[in-house]
């Protein structure tokens, strides 16, 4: 990847895509190409083909996806598998047909088996049953990985796939129906504090353990790997340590300044018991995340406060 490359960042308005844009700009890449979903529907093959045929793109960061937490995955499984398969198939195919040899595909650690040994190594892919609550999304992402690897083997492309752990940060989704656990908890605590509520409800038992990576660290890792990594194997991106949901709630309460009680609704699902990735390969490739969970929480809450009115309409 070179500074003069024309780089398409798919999904540049989202949590991951916006962080990648910030990182690329910081490192002096100034020929960035972006389109909103209204300007270019990546589910539309004809539109995607025309876009790649006319824009002279050199490099692709495929960060566009339909994403969400337990509630959204439970309620919209058809959309999760359909939209993600369409997006990644259209973009990867069009990139190859346009002669683009360097592409980064963003997967997810939900591709690993529900009861995978911890921490999860890259080779655990397809060694066991998936977590049922997000299986359609995970299957779509696995298909994307295999598509990249297949194009590499058959056509000699250099399409790399990275598996980020649970993400949070600037431009996160705080909608209580479709967001992931961390931004949802920030909003719940903030609104409870604002409204004087004595308690908040949290789904599950609070015992599942999760790893959380600040989105700007993910973006830094993605750019680093696009500049230095040419392998066909997937690469985990994480921090290498986890925390229970109950511990996370207490940290968020402290950042927000909320002092109410936490009521755990044990009738609701916990999801996977533990999700921690092995980052040995990432470290061997010269990258380690540098933002602490507390620092990232403060930055995310600061952004949420500054943008609260737009988020509150969701």
- Do 19 and 63 touch, CB atoms closer than 8 A? no
17 labelled ligand-binding: yes
Task: Output phi, psi for 243, to 5 deg.
Answer: -150, 150
The CA–CA distances, whole Å, from 80 to 19, 45, 72, 178 equal 23, 18, 9, 12
165 labelled ligand-binding: yes
89 labelled ligand-binding: no
104 labelled ligand-binding: no
16 labelled ligand-binding: yes
Interatomic CA distance for residues 246 and 264, integer angstroms: 9
Query: Quick one: 156 exposed, middle or buried, by C-beta within 10 A (0-12, 13-18, 19+)?
Result: exposed
106 labelled ligand-binding: yes
- In this structure, what token pair is assigned to residue 259? 């002092």
146 labelled ligand-binding: no
99 labelled ligand-binding: no
> Kind of pairing, strands 243-244 and 209-210?
antiparallel
108 labelled ligand-binding: yes
Q: Which of 10, 21, 68 is nearest to 314 (CA)?
A: 68
Interatomic CA distance for residues 167 and 184, integer angstroms: 13
180 labelled ligand-binding: yes
196 labelled ligand-binding: no
Interatomic CA distance for residues 17 and 62, integer angstroms: 8
255 labelled ligand-binding: no
Task: Kindly list the catalytic residues.
Answer: 137
13 labelled ligand-binding: yes
Interatomic CA distance for residues 101 and 88, integer angstroms: 16
188 labelled ligand-binding: yes
> Which residues, other chains included, contact 285 with Cβ-Cβ below 8 Å and sequence gap of 6+?
224, 225, 228, 229, 235
Residues tagged in the binding site annotation for substrate: 188, 203, 210, 270
As annotated, the binding site includes 11-17, 106-109, 141, 164-167, 180, 188, 203, 210, 270
Binding residues for NADP(+): 11-17, 106-109, 141, 164-167, 180
């Amino acid at each position: 990847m070179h500074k003069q490359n024309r780089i398409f960042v798919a999904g540049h308005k989202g949590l991951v895509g916006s962080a990648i844009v910030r990182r690329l700009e910081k490192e002096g890449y100034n020929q960035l190409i972006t389109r909103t979903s209204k300007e270019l529907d990546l589910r539309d093959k004809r539109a995607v083909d025309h876009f790649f045929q006319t824009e002279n793109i050199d490099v692709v960061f495929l960060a566009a996806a339909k994403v969400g937490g337990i509630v959204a995955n439970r309620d919209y499984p058809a959309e999760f598998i359909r939209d993600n398969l369409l997006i990644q198939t259209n973009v990867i195919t069009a990139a190859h047909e346009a002669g683009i040899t360097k592409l980064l595909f963003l997967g997810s650690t939900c591709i690993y088996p529900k009861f995978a040994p911890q921490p999860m190594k890259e080779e655990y892919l397809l060694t066991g049953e998936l977590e049922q609550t997000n299986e359609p999304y995970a299957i779509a992402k696995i298909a994307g990985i295999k598509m990249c690897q297949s194009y590499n083997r058959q056509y000699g492309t250099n399409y790399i796939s990275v598996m980020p752990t649970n993400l949070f940060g600037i431009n996160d989704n705080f909608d209580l129906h479709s967001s992931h656990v961390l931004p949802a908890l920030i909003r719940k605590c903030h609104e409870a504090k604002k409204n004087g509520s004595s308690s908040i409800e949290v789904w599950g038992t609070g015992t599942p353990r999760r790893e959380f990576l600040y989105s700007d660290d993910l973006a830094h890792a993605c750019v680093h790997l696009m500049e230095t990594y040419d392998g066909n194997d997937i690469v985990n991106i994480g921090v290498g340590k986890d925390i229970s949901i109950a511990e996370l709630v207490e940290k968020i309460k402290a950042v927000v300044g909320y002092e109410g009680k936490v009521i755990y609704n044990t009738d609701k699902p916990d999801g996977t018991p533990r999700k921690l990735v092995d980052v040995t390969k990432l470290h061997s490739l010269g990258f380690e995340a540098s933002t602490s969970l507390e620092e990232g929480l403060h930055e995310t809450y600061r952004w949420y406060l500054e943008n609260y009115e737009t988020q509150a309409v969701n």
